[in-house]
């Protein structure tokens, strides 16, 4: 049975570097491995178009009658768009995970459905209750992972590595606190499968921990 391994973490944590490293190491051990970047397809023309309409809608004033209908349309798009994205990802899950699973021993995934729901929650002000509902729903559709690596760094480290993605260190700190709330949900949904990796110092140590933990767990499932 195909083993699923997720890498989660804030931008700048090093999850992409570590997930690709693990993929290469496992391939060198003659495992059949597929590496997937979960957010591929996020920047399609359609999704960017809808996002731009939503941004414009924030600047409209409802007391202007000529813009009233436009604002209603934008509000509807804001409500519908998250569901369109989530439905789109259902097809992604079927195509990239279930259909490809038979060809590989291991699928290493950089980010996950949790990141998608997390991003939609922040972008479209989805309620906490609905956010948790989405996590539980997609837990039914997702193949059960064998390992979820959470790559941890401080706000200062993340900011230094990815300044172009953050407004300030304060912005990073706020985002990290939101991620911790997300990790708490993930741990409840996937008990015993979380491995936290401190990636603030020596990258070699992080690579070693990721690789050794993976081999150990794979041996358990032989």
- CA distance from start to end of the chain: 10
pLDDT digits (tens, 9 = 90+) for 17-68: 999 999 999 999 999 999 999 876 565 565 566 566 556 555 544 444 455 4
Give burial (CB, 10 Å; 0-12/13-18/19+) of 46: exposed
Report yes or no on 167 lying in a domain: yes
The Cβ-side half-sphere exposure at 135, using a 13 Å CA radius, reads 22
Query: 160, 13 in Cβ contact below 8 A?
Result: no
CATH number of the domain at 124, please: 3.40.50.300
Total tally of structural domains belonging to the chain: 1
Report which of 138, 179, 130 is spatially closest to residue 11, judged by C-alpha positions: 179
Residue 158 has pLDDT above 50, yes or no: yes
pLDDT at res. 39: 77
Report yes or no on 156 lying in a domain: yes
Tokens 């997609």 sit at which residue?
Answer: 138
pLDDT digits (tens, 9 = 90+) for 95-145: 778 888 889 999 999 999 999 899 888 888 888 899 999 998 888 888 899
């Amino acid at each position: 049975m195909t083993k699923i391994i997720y890498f989660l973490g804030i931008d700048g944590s090093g999850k992409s570097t570590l997930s690709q490293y693990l993929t290469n190491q496992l391939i060198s051990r003659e495992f059949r491995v597929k590496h997937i970047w979960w957010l591929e397809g996020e920047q399609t023309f359609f999704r960017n178009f809808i996002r731009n309409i939503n941004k414009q809608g924030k600047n409209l004033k409802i007391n202007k009658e000529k813009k009233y209908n436009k604002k209603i349309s934008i509000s509807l798009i804001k409500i519908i768009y998250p569901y369109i994205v989530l439905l789109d990802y259902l097809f992604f899950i079927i195509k990239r995970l279930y259909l490809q699973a038979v060809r590989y021993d291991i699928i290493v995934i950089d980010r996950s459905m949790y990141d998608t729901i997390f991003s939609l929650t922040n972008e479209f002000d989805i309620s906490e209750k609905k956010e948790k509902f989405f996590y539980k729903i997609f837990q039914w559709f997702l193949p059960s992972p064998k390992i979820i690596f959470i790559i941890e760094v401080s706000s200062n480290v993340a900011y230094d590595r990815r300044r172009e993605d953050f407004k300030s260190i304060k912005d990073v700190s706020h985002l990290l606190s939101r991620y911790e709330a997300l990790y708490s949900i993930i741990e409840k949904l996937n008990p015993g499968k979380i491995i936290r990796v401190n990636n603030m110092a020596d990258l070699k140590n992080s690579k070693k921990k990721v690789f050794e933990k993976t081999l150990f767990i794979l041996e358990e499932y032989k």
